[in-house]
Amino acid sequence: MKHIITLTLSPVVDKSTTVDKIIADQKLICIEPRFEAGGGGINVSRGLKRLNLTSLAIFPSGGLTGQHLQDLLRAEHINQMPVLTEKMTRENFIVINREVHEEYRFGMPAVELLPKEEREILSVIKKLLPKPKFMVVSGGMPPGLSADFLAKVARIAQQNEARLIVDTSGDALKYAVEEGVYLLKPNQAELSKLTGIDIKDISAVEAAAQQIIGKGKCQIIVVSLGAQGAYVATRGFSEYVEAPQVEKRSTVGAGDSMVAGMVYACEKGMDIRQTIRMGIACGSAATMNPGPELFNKADAEKLFQQMMNKMK
C-alpha cells in the first residue's frame, strides 16, 4: 500500500563530474560523469527510500532524458508513475573544482507543460487507489502550468482526506495556502512574500508564521533558515531549532532531504518537536555529501539523536 505520493512538476536528471581545476579557454578533463534522478518530489521519494519508507513518485517525463530518469529511479527501486510529455525532460550539470573545493551548478530552464499534460497529471492523482495518506508537492512550477494548479491539487487532497505537504515558491505557494495545506515549508523570502511582513529576525519569522497559522489554512509551518536551522509553528506552539554543526560539502538536495525527514516523522507518528529535528537532521546530513548526493541514513539518525539529547 502506497501511503505517500510525491509530485514533481519540474523533474531533472542531474549530471555531475569533477575537474582538477577550472581555467578559461582550456580543455578541461573531467572524471566519468555521475547521473542521478532529481527534482523536489523525486528527491523526497529517494530520501524516504533511504529511511525504509515506500512512496510513489509522480512526474512528467519526456524524450530520451525522461526515459533515462525513469531508468535511474528503477535502479533505486523507487515506485514511479510517469506522465509522458511531448517535450524532453531537462538535464542539469554540476562541476566540482577539486583544486579549491568549489561547486558550480548549471541549471537548465524548466520544461513547459502543455494543458493536456496538466490535465493528465490531475487525472492520475484523482484516480489513485488506494487513496494516499500524504501528498507531497515539492520543487519549482514549470511554465505552462495553470496559476491555480496547486489549489486544484489541494482540493483533491481534501477530497481524499490526504495530508498535503508543499515545498515550492511564487504564486503557486499562495494558491496552495489559500486552499489549505497540512504542512508548508517556505524559506524566509517566500514567507515574507506570502505575508507582506519584512523578515529580518526570528521574531519577524514568528509573526509571519503565526499569521498563516491563525488563518486556519495550514496546520504546520516550517521555515527553513539554511545553515541556521529552522523555525516550526503550529497553533499554540512554536520553536526555533538550530542545525547541528557538520562539515558541509554540498547543499544540493538538502531542502528535499529535510522534507523527506519530516514526512517520515509524520508517517511514524512523531510529535512536532521530533518531526522538525528529524527534518533538520536529514537536511544537515545531506550537506555532508558531495554533489547531488542525498543523506546517508546513519548520518541522519546520529544527528537526530544528538538533537534529541540536547532537549533533555
Q: Which residues are catalytic, by number?
A: 256
- CA-to-CA dists, residue 257 to 33, 100, 191, 253, 285, angstroms: 23, 26, 20, 6, 8
Q: Which amino acid is at 123?
A: S
* DSSP element (H, E) containing 15: strand 12-19
Count of Cβ atoms closer than 10 Å to residue 164 Cβ: 26
Q: What is the DSSP string of 173-238?
A: HHHHHHH-EEEE--BHHHHHHHH-----SHHHHHHHHHHHHHTTSEEEEEEE-GGG-EEEEETTEE
> Can you tell me the distance from the alpha carbon of 194 to that of 177, in angstroms, rounded to the nearest whole number?
9
- CA-to-CA dists, residue 133 to 130, 262, 267, 268, angstroms: 9, 14, 9, 12
Burial 28-63 (b: 16+ CB within 10 A, else e): eeeeeeebbbbbbbbbbbbbbbbbebebbbbbbbbb
Place of cell 491555480: 148
